[in-house]
Amino acid sequence: MDFLGLIGAGFLPFRGSIMLDVVFVAMFAIIPVLIFSVVLAKQRQFSWHRNLQLATALVLLLAVIAFEVDMRFVTDWQALAKESAYYSYCHPLLYLHLLFAIPTPILWAMIIIGALRNFDHNFQAPTYRERHRTLGWLGIGLMFGTAITGIIFYAAAFIA
């Protein structure tokens, strides 16, 4: 379905829609933001770390909702990808991407809820700190996998 003539009208010079382009660009930004957040935590700037994580989670939640609405009701990504030389690989690449993309927000929610429940206002929770650190690195790993597989999928479907 073509919504107001916007299908295929992304801001990048490829075949992606606006939301596909936004998510593609966001995949390049998310990993440095997460690494910076870890640096803040290592520098014991816990309130900055918390606030950056909460802001990032909120922005990603809104982006995922907008992206899903776009994919389900506005953009026919398959029609945009049909011209790709790698179209036959698009579905397997999408499924690989979803192996990372689906568990990532679930784990992020667990990490955030766990942190909000277990750290006090002075960011003290000696028994929870190691679990938070381990889950955080797992979350970064999943987000990295989501970003890399998303970039590969976008390139195969809308650039090639």
Q: For residue 125, is it within any domain?
A: yes
Tens digits of residue pLDDT in 86-118: 999 999 999 999 999 999 999 999 999 999 999
Q: How far apart (Å, rounded) are the C-alpha atoms in residues 104 and 30?
A: 13
pLDDT of residue 57: 94
Q: What is the overall mean pLDDT for the chain?
A: 91
Q: For residue 72, is it within any domain?
A: yes
Q: For residue 81, is it within any domain?
A: yes
Q: How confident is the model at residue 126 (pLDDT cuts 50, 70, 90)?
A: confident
pTM of the model: 0.86
Type of residue numbered 5:
G
Other C-beta atoms lying within 10 Å of the C-beta of residue 147: 23
Q: How far apart (Å, rounded) are the C-alpha atoms in residues 88 and 82?
A: 9
Q: For residue 1, is it within any domain?
A: no
pLDDT of residue 4: 44
Q: Per residue in 16-50, is it b (16+ CB within 10 Å) or e — as a string?
A: bbbbbbbbbebbeebeebbeebbebbeeeeeeebb
Q: For residue 39, is it within any domain?
A: yes
Q: How confident is the model at residue 2 (pLDDT cuts 50, 70, 90)?
A: very low
Q: How many domains does the chain have?
A: 1
Q: For residue 128, is it within any domain?
A: yes
Q: For residue 34, is it within any domain?
A: yes
Q: For residue 133, is it within any domain?
A: yes
Domain that holds residue 99: 18-159
Tens digits of residue pLDDT in 16-28: 989 999 999 999 9
